[in-house]
Amino acid sequence: MERINRVLAIHDISGFGKCSLTVALPVISACGIETTVMPTAVLSTHTGGFTGYTWRDLTSDMQPMADHWKSINIGFDAIYSGYLGSFEQIEIVKSIVKDFKEENSFFLCDPAMADHGKMYALFDMNFAKKMAELCSLADIIVPNFTEAAFMTGEEYKEGPYTKEYVEDMLVKLAALGPKKIVLTGVYFDSDNLGCACYDNGNIEYIMMPRLEGVYHGTGDVFASSLCGALMCRKSLKKATEIAAKFTCGCIERTLKYTPDVRYGVAFEGELPKLIKELGLYE
């Protein structure tokens, strides 16, 4: 009997603030894809701009969860990792990828750890080196410019960028191992912002009009919708277009509702448009 395509999403649960699993689960499910979750930690909020958050570490549950799934023959068509809390968690994800990735499945790694030239709270540059090791096992990676610079050892630069700088960065990222890369935060002028898509040496740009507001969790909204679209068998370029459009729609909607950038984006009301873009249930 056929089953619905299934993704294993490995991220933390930040109770409030709409990022990681509270984004990945609804977004990928809306794409018609079954989502298994491996929570790596439970926090009261994400760490971006809040203080006093709780942190319940779940590292010691990760391998036993994977072992249990193995014992009952659960398989995955994709593995999607995001925010990870420690070197040990990265090592566990590496071993899960080795154990569970099958011939026709993919591993999408979002090295969520830095933005705007700075590592997130709790991380240092050694963590970026370790994350680069995980990215080397991935089929697809989705770094922003800061993560890309920190993983390749390049100097982080603010844009506007030149094509030469962007494409040089893509080549350095590809040298880590992944055949497909979606580099976010690319801009050549002040009006447009988008992504560079690297697919086995072929480079394309997906640019959108730049929107005001730097909201938390947009990286997770983008990577989760990209994962969902790829699972719906869209090409990397098409999936990137769908994810970029969805993310911009979420930001536009948020500008009307949420004054606090830490509260995440109002992705909920945009899900019907995402479903339509994917051509689901027609």
Q: Looking at 7, 12, 76, 234, which residue binds ligand PXL (CB under 6 A)?
A: 12
Told to check if 14 binds ligand PXL by CB under 6 A, we report yes
What is the distance, to the nearest Å, from the Cα of residue 265 to the centroid of all Cα atoms in its chain?
A: 15
Contact predicate 68/40, CB 8 Å: no
Q: Is 269 helix (H, G, I), strand (E, B) or coil?
A: helix
Least separation in angstroms between residue 90's CB and ligand PXL is 15
Q: Are strands 55-57 and 34-45 parallel, antiparallel or unpaired?
A: antiparallel
CA dist 203 and 155 (Å) reads: 22
- Per-residue CA distances from 225 to 94, 96, 102, 278 (Å): 23, 22, 22, 10
Stretch that binds ligand PXL, among 44-52, 86-94, 98-106, 186-194 (CB under 6 A): 44-52
Least separation in angstroms between residue 197's CB and ligand PXL is 21
Least separation in angstroms between residue 281's CB and ligand PXL is 29
Stretch that binds ligand PXL, among 43-51, 57-65, 100-108, 173-181 (CB under 6 A): 43-51
Q: Is 186 helix (H, G, I), strand (E, B) or coil?
A: strand
CA dist 232 and 281 (Å) reads: 12
Told to check if 66 binds ligand PXL by CB under 6 A, we report no
Told to check if 77 binds ligand PXL by CB under 6 A, we report no
Paired tokens of 215: 């909201």
Told to check if 19 binds ligand PXL by CB under 6 A, we report yes
Least separation in angstroms between residue 73's CB and ligand PXL is 31
Q: Return all residues near 170 (Cβ < 8 A) that are at least 6 apart.
A: 181, 183, 196, 198, 203
Told to check if 194 binds ligand PXL by CB under 6 A, we report no
Told to check if 217 binds ligand PXL by CB under 6 A, we report yes
Q: Looking at 26, 32, 39, 48, which residue binds ligand PXL (CB under 6 A)?
A: 48
Note the residues at the interface with ligand PXL (CB under 6 A). 12, 14, 19-20, 43, 46-48, 83, 112, 120, 217, 219-220
